[in-house]
Amino acid sequence: MAEKWIYWLKEVGQEDNNVVGKKCANLGELTKAGFHVPPGFALGVEAYSRFMKETEATDLLLKFLDTFHADPNNVADTLKYEEASNAMRALVESVKMPPDMEKTIKEYYAEMCRIAGCENIYVATRSAGPMSHPGQYETYLNVSGADDVAFNVVRVWSSTFNTRSVIARARLNLPLHYDPIGVAVLTMVDAKAAGVMFTVNPVNGDESKVAIEGSFGYGEAVVSGNVTPDRYLVDKITLEIDEKVISDKGSEFIYNPGTKEMEYIDLPPDQRKRQCLEDKEVLELTRLAKKIEAHFGCPQDVEWSISGSLPFPESIFLVQARPESVWGKKKKESVLGKKSGMELLFERATTPIKLKI
Amino acid sequence: MADVKKFPYASEVVLPPELEGWEEMYPPQRLFSKDREAWENKHFWYQDKIHAPEPMYPLDDIFQEAWQISLSQFTTRVFCIPPAQGVAQRMLGCYMYITAVEPPPPEVIAEKAEHFQKRVFYVFENYDALWDKWLEKFQALGREMESLKIPKEFDKYVPDSEIFPAPRGYTQAYEIIEAFNTIISQIFKAWQYHFEYLNLAYLGYLMFVDTARKLFPGIKESTIGKMVAGAEVSMFRPEEELCRLSRLAAGQPPVAEILKKSIPADKKIEELKSIDAGRVWLEELERIKNPWFFVSCGSGWYHFEGSWTNKMDVPFSYMQSYVERLEKGERIERSLTAISEERDRIVSEYKALIKTDDDRKSFEDAYKVVRTIYRYAEDHLFWVEHWLHTIWFEKIREFGGLLVKNNVLKKTDDIFLFNRFEVPMLLEDLATAWALGEGAPTRGKFWMEKAAKRKKILDAAREWMAAPGLGVPPEEVSEPFTVMLWGVTTDKVAEWLKGSETASKDVSEIKGFASSAGVAEGPARVLKLLEDVVKLEAGEIMVSPCTNPSWAPVFTKIKAAVTDIGGLTSHAAIVSREYGLPSVTGTGIATSVIKTGDIIKVDGSTGIVTIVKRA
């Protein structure tokens, strides 16, 4: 029997990292745990393998690579890689998907539309590598219609041949023609605001805080660093907002129905310095952050999105959760040096407090 | 601009001409002086707005004198906090400046460290039993002061009872001199006791702040305050008694009806006496009045603030609103269980975040240490500043009354215009005139003129914006009160330096502690004294020097609170959080910058108060 290659999110969990890629596995885990995640499905790495093998893509790529020679450590060769990448991507995107795969993907999409009660719903097709390569592969937003969904899944696959991925594999002496990843097909959230949060203060490792960064529109604006987001620091235990920095956010990343593209649009002057989240949204995000951290058992880096059309709190969606990469890995060392209360008291009594005038 | 890192030295301060003659109100050892100038200029002095926010009445200054000795000795000679020395005071232009004395030589620090370990560790291990002993001796002292006999009037002739069967040998002339000497000794002794465990309570708190900050660098002082606060401490008892009396009244409709009338408290008491249920209720009030109505309407530091027991309109107005709220089915008590449950939740959730077992153990132990003793900070406050000060002020007024009756002074409270070394002169003057026989004059006219002049000086001082600091700020501080109580921190000194450059009328924004989150905008009501609460209208923003538990009922009426004094664990901050009102505390200058009727905006999340529109 052929191996399963497509899953509803709720069918996968953390343990399926290698089957569907990290992002899908984590989103599945969040969905199963009852968190509010945009509905969707995942294509496993098996789908990538089948596509590459059952079409002639692999053969064509190998043939093309026969005549390709470049040194990944030589900056001057970057252009050669770029040309090769363009050729390889064009090649992958031009082959026809096996009909049963295309049919199944379209059926899953149709089911999503049926559940949502709306035709041709907008989805995001997101890459999900088994290893974490933030920003290496590509994601396509606001995809609508069965044909487009199938095509954009292929585009995500082909993004494993984008220049930076090819160079990265060349440097590691990995095969250039093959790098299986998963793909998440998720309902788009019509984000009025979105961003990232850490379940630890990234500045000093204080685990009693949740640090939230957000801006108007879609979260890519914050993740990519293209806008200066609003910042909130919230205490997990008292649920008080300790710090609130409202920035001049300049523009928002939104869908332009005219061009059918995602675009940065300048915010009107009176909007730029407005708080992008209401306090109750900040606090609800904090509660969610605590639950997510408790579920995964270590500090998390979470992407969230707030729908402009749904009522609070159903408006809040989680679109990504992964272990926080800096403080989460720090060795747990004692900071109080095994001192007793009396020893700490003596230390306080004998240590003057410095003033910086 | 001058060097911004320095305040003027005391000798460089120019006083307004109306203050001329201010020095003679205070004993010479309390003034800045040429002969000690080198030592004085080595220290950084700051105005003590906590204990002396108002120009100092000479007799009210006695508490300050007393704490200078007591606070300092417990640090230097009793519990021996190694690098810390005492807190010295100086008067300047009727305001009090204080400084943490520079650290002692290294060998003294080493000697003190030995004593500290032996003595302080003992106190922490035995605190509960030591507290019981403290309370017992303190209450005994208060009762002694209460029972002090001060003649109401001089007898024309000594009564027979003092002659037969054997003459007593001394008269009221001696009695009055002795009584004043005794009450001075008693107040000094009370203030000796005041600091018995306070330095250690503050030190314990600072230790816990350090410990918590090492584990959670961003933990807020207000959160630490919640962790260490005791719900069942003496300072909250008066408020609890008010709630209990209100409930009793609400259960007896005729009593409730009288309490709800818009008539003065003494009229209400008269009406209550006329009905059975009223008499029973009054008996209950009488039973708890001493000590629980011996609570100051202010901080307890000034004679003019008054106490519930002699300003019964204050507790009766609270009870009136409590009875009305009870009839509407509202809850009036603070839920002590809710407060302690919340405290325990916060502590255990923070503890759960600690990453190593060793640290968790240290944290638990540090918490145990601070919890052992921290309640002293709120327990002693009721017994000393409220209960005993109420007794003191009442007794001093008895001396004042006697002086007025005999034309030595015009008004009873004028006695507070003379310092504790001068009052004996007035009393001796009176005793002498009585002894000399009929027609012998006192120097009443002289004393009255002096009193009138001093009143004018104090009024002028009230209008004067005294400099917040004098001299060069230090690089480090080890004296626990300087940090904990007066909040001398890098930011605070910087704020003072900034503030000393602008005149108050130009200020449109002031900064304090962000002590209770939320934003509110509305008309300000500046309440310098608690008795002004009758003017307060619902929806106003209260601006006051500070608050204490006797102000609690005010918080149900206001939109937000701003104070001059007090940190994140101050009464105003705690109660504001309980009622969910925005509050900014410890602004230093709110009551002098803001005027009643100004529209102000209070941001309890950032600690900023903006004057939106001047009245």
Per-domain residue ranges for chain A? 6-187, 191-329
pLDDT of B147 = 97
Tell me if B281 sits within 8 A of B252, measured CB to CB. Answer: yes
Tokens 């190593």 appear where?
B356
Q: Report d(CA A305, CA A285) in Å as an integer.
A: 10
Instruction: Report how far residue A158's alpha carbon sits from residue A127's, in angstroms, rounded to the nearest whole number.
Output: 10
Q: How many residues does chain B have?
A: 615
pLDDT digits (tens, 9 = 90+) for A186-205: 999 999 999 999 999 988 88
Sign of CA dihedral B555, B559, B563, B567: positive
Residue A241 near chain B (CB below 8 Å): yes
The least confident of B391-400, B479-488, B515-524, B581-590 is B479-488
Tell me the percentage of chain A whose pLDDT exceeds 90: 63
Residues of B in contact with A332 (CB under 8 A): 355-356
Name the more confident of A77 and B178: B178
A240 in reach of chain B (CB within 8 A): yes
- What is the widest separation between alpha-carbon atoms in chain A? 78
Domain that holds residue B82: 10-110+466-491
Is A349 in CB contact (< 8 Å) with chain B? yes
Q: Are B241 and B182 members of one domain?
A: no
Mean pLDDT calculated for residue range B254-260: 96
Query: Is B101 found in the same domain as B145?
Result: no
Q: Is A334 touching B (CB cutoff 8 A)?
A: yes
Spell out which residues of chain B touch residue A199, defining contact as CB-CB under 8 Å. none
- Tell me if B355 and A207 make a contact (CB, 8 A cut-off): yes
Q: What local confidence, expressed as pLDDT, does residue A356 receive?
A: 64
Chain segment B70-123, per-residue pLDDT in tens: 999 999 999 999 999 999 999 999 999 999 999 999 999 999 999 999 999 999
Give B361's contacts in chain A (Cβ within 8 Å): 338
Q: What is the pLDDT of residue A56?
A: 86
Where does A191-329 sit in CATH, by number?
A: 3.30.470.20
Please, which pLDDT band fits residue B231 given cuts at 50, 70 and 90? low
Identify the pLDDT of residue B49: 77
Over residues B433-450, mean pLDDT? 97
- Which pLDDT value is given to residue A242? 87
Cβ proximity of B43 and B102 under 8 Å: yes
Do B240 and B184 belong together in one domain?
Answer: no
Cβ <8 Å between B124 and A357: no
**CB atoms inside a 10 Å sphere around CB B55:** 23
* Chain A neighbors of B206, CB-CB under 8 A: 348
What is residue B3's predicted lDDT score, i.e. its pLDDT? 45
Q: Which residues of A touch B494 (CB under 8 A)?
A: 357
CA dist., res. B395 & res. B183, Å (int): 8
Residue B61 — φ and ψ, nearest 5°?
A: -65, -15
Q: Which of B140, B138, B80, B142 minimizes the C-alpha distance to B111?
A: B80
Determine, for residues A352 and B478 on separate chains, whether the beta-carbon distance falls below 8 Å.
yes
**How far, in Å, are A106, A147, A317 from residue A42 at the CA level?**
13, 17, 18
Confidence class of residue B502 from pLDDT cuts 50, 70 and 90? low
pLDDT in tens, B128-152: 999 999 999 999 999 999 999 999 9
Q: Which of A206, A329, A355 is best to mutate for the B interface (most B CBs within 10 A)?
A: A355
Closest-CA distance, B489 to chain A, in angstroms, reads 6
The one-letter amino acid code at A243 reads E
Span B486-501, mean pLDDT? 69
**pLDDT band for position B510 (50/70/90)?**
confident
| Interchain proximity B359–A335, CB inside 8 Å | yes
**Residue B478 to residue A342, Cβ atoms within 8 A:** no
Angle at B346 between CA B345 and CA B350, to 5 degrees: 115
With CA atoms as reference, report the closest residue to B364 among B205, B212, B569, B199.
B212
Interface test with A, best of B111, B209, B227, B362 (most A CBs within 10 A): B362
Mean model confidence pLDDT for chain B: 90
The predicted model gives B471-493 an average pLDDT of 75
Q: Helix/strand/coil (H, E, C) string of A150-162?
A: HHHHHHHHHHHHC
Smallest Cβ–Cβ distance between A208 and the set B210, B218, B476 belongs to: B218
The reply to whether residue B217 touches residue A240, judged by beta carbons under 8 angstroms, is: no
**Domain assignment present for B222:** no
Q: Alpha-carbon dihedral of residues B490, B493, B495, B501, nearest 10 degrees?
A: -150
Query: What residues contact B587, with CB distance under 8 A and at least 6 apart?
Result: B510, B511, B512, B562, B563, B564, B609
Interface A-B, measured as beta-carbon pairs within 8 A, has a size of 143
CB contact under 8 A, B116 and A332: no
For chain B, what is the domain count?
A: 4
The pLDDT mean for chain A works out to 90
Looking at the complex, does the CB of residue A242 fall below 8 Å from at least one CB of chain B? yes
Give B57 or B604, the one with higher predicted confidence.
B57
CB B447 within 8 A of CB B409: yes
pLDDT at B289 over 90: yes
Is B25 found in the same domain as B90? yes
Which architecture characterizes domain A6-187 according to CATH? 2-Layer Sandwich (3.30)
Distance from CA of A325 to the nearest CA of B (A): 17
- Contact yes or no for B477 and A353 at CB 8 A: yes
Q: Which pLDDT does position A93 carry in this prediction?
A: 94
Rounded CA gap, B360 and B194, in Å? 34
Dihedral sign for Cα B217, A280, B568, A341, please.
Answer: negative
Q: Which chain A residues are Cβ-neighbours of B517 within 8 angstroms?
A: 240-241
- Quote the pLDDT of residue B364: 97
A355 touches chain B (CB under 8 A): yes
Q: List, for residues B348-360, the tens digit of each pLDDT value.
A: 999 999 989 999 9
A135: pLDDT confidence band, cut at 50, 70 and 90?
A: low
A129 to chain B, closest Cα gap in Å: 31
SS3 A183: strand
**Record: contact B211-A340, CB cut-off 8 A:** no
Nearest residue in chain B measured CA to CA from A204: B217
3-state secondary structure B315-340: HHHHHHHHHHHHHCCCCCCCCHHHHH
> To the nearest whole angstrom, how far is the Cα of B342 from the nearest Cα of chain A?
9
Which range (A118-122, A264-268, B193-197) has the least confidence?
A: A264-268
Flag whether pLDDT at B482 surpasses 90. no
Residue B291, preceding bond cis, omega within 30 degrees? yes
Contacts of B108 in chain A (CB under 8 A): none
Any domain includes B122? no
What's the mean pLDDT in A7-22?
93
B85/B166 same-domain check: no
Instruction: Return the pLDDT at A293.
Output: 94
Contact state of A355 with B488 under an 8 Å Cβ cutoff: yes
Q: Is A112 left (phi over 0), alpha (psi -120 to 50) or beta?
A: alpha
Q: Is residue B494 pLDDT above 90, yes or no?
A: no
Cα B530 vs. chain centroid, distance in angstroms?
A: 13
Give the whole-angstrom CA distance, residue A35 versus residue A9: 12
Question: In the 8-state DSSP scheme, what is residue A134?
Answer: T
Helix/strand/coil percent split, chain A, to 5: 40, 25, 35
CATH of the domain at B593: 3.50.30.10
Does A69 reach chain B within 8 Å, measured CB to CB? Answer: no
CA–CA distance, A345 with B205 (Å, rounded to integer): 9
Q: Are residues B56 and B98 in the same domain?
A: yes
Q: Which has the closest alpha carbon to B541: B513, B572, B578? A: B572
- How far is B76 from chain A, CA to nearest CA, in Å? 12
Which of B83, B211, B605 is the closest to A241 by Cβ?
A: B605
Cβ-based contacts of A237 with chain B (< 8 Å): 223, 345-346, 349-350
Nearest CA in chain A to B206: A348
- Chain A residue with Cα closest to B351: A208
Per the DSSP assignment, residues forming a β-bridge with A234 are A210, A241
Tokens read off for B562:
């701003």
Burial of B183 (0-12, 13-18, 19+ CB in 10 A): buried
> How far separated are the first and last CA of chain B, in Å rounded?
33
Q: Do B471 and B434 share a structural domain?
A: no
| Average pLDDT score over residue span B389-405 | 98
Q: What is the mean pLDDT of residues A263-279?
A: 88
* Residue-wise burial string across B491-527, b where 16 or more C-beta atoms lie within 10 A, e elsewhere: ebbbbbbebeeeeeeebeebbbbbbbbbebbbbbbbb
Q: What is the pLDDT of residue A35?
A: 95
Asked if the structure places residue B211 within a domain, the reply is no
The answer as to whether B363 is a domain residue is no
Contact yes or no for A347 and B207 at CB 8 A: yes
The Cα–Cα gap between B411 and B69 comes to 31
A238:B226 CB<8 A = yes
Question: Which chain A positions have a beta carbon within 8 Å of B207's beta carbon?
Answer: 341, 344-345, 347-349
On chain B, the residues whose CB falls within 8 A of the CB of A348 are 203, 206-207, 210
